[in-house]
Copies of this chain bind each other. A is one copy, B any other.
């Protein structure tokens, strides 16, 4: 049988930091298996009669659709609370809303919330398994796991490890839930991570073992892969960057700048990109770009997460 998930020791997926290296590898292995068996009858029965509730308190298209496709490919019933737009039931609290969703039958709840930590609150107050689909500036574990799978397949060793790989992350690390979860995942898989960005946005991260904060040229020098992050227009100024043009000039990734990295080192971006700002349009569209692959891997990684949590939720 493909993708025997056995038992999974975690009730929720709140961030990557709670996963061991072996667990991350098992999850990515399952994602690869599910990707290969995406349309098999067995896959379509895996979560039959499981109800997955989507509770997105922040607008999202790509993550929501990715979870919806993942859940349905597994045969689950996916219902969307449709919180954004329709006033959430008369000012009901988050916990009351999620408890109602659970009592309606949802054993897995995918939660996106603008408040960092909201999924932790949910996990303590609700019986359903909580999947963090992005909370404030804190964590975005399924994105990081999709990125980890993408990197493993692009630059990983024969066993899929990132041991000894140098990965540069460029931009506003401080406010990026994607970067924070990626740090956990990449370090767990053995990579060394170099950070470069406006000083106020990278400061202090070298306290993490395995992380180096450096100048951009140092971070890129000999890197096996480079990830750049979306810069929020409204935050550029706060980081001491007077304009997006200035940001692009100083921090924008281009083919030329990437010459410092290893030949053919791939480039990642969690999307959506500001082309011409943090990454040039040419580079984003070049064969070195893994941006499309990151999106594609989002579905099987989320299928793996949902499968594992369902196996844990119904022991």
Q: Are A103 and B65 in contact (CB under 8 A)?
A: no
The residue in A83, A295, A299 that gathers the most chain B C-beta atoms within 10 A of its C-beta is A295
Q: Does A2 contact B (CB under 8 A)?
A: no
Interface residues on A, range: 35 or more
- Does A79 belong to the interface (CB within 8 Å)? yes
Q: A38-B49, A49-B73, A61-B89 are in contact. List 12 more A-B contacts (CB 8 A).
A: A61-B86, A61-B97, A61-B101, A65-B79, A65-B81, A65-B100, A68-B79, A84-B86, A96-B271, A100-B271, A104-B296, A104-B299
Residues on the B chain within 8 Å of A92, using CB: 272
Given known A85-B86, A92-B272, contact A103–B296 (CB-CB < 8 A): yes
Contact A39 B49, CB 8 Å, known A72-B77, A81-B61, A85-B86: yes
Q: Which 6 A-B pairs have the closest CB atoms?
A: A39-B49, A103-B295, A92-B272, A59-B86, A85-B85, A72-B77
Q: Given the complex, which residues of B lie within 8 Å of A136, measured CB to CB?
A: none
A292 close to chain B: CB less than 8 A: yes
Interface bits A95-112 vs B (CB < 8 Å: 1, else 0): 011011101111000000
Check if A62 is an interface residue, CB within 8 A of chain B: yes
Please report A residues at the B interface, Cβ cutoff 8 Å.
38-39, 44, 48-49, 51, 53, 59-62, 64-66, 68-69, 72-73, 77, 79, 81-90, 92, 96-97, 99-101, 103-106, 271-273, 292, 295-296, 298-299
Q: How far is the CB of A38 from chain B (nearest CB, A)?
A: 7
Q: Would B86 and A65 count as touching, CB distance under 8 A? A: no
Out of B65, B79, B106, name the residue touching A101 (CB < 8 Å): B65
- Count chain B CB atoms within 10 A of each CB in A53, A65, A273 and give the residue with the most: A65
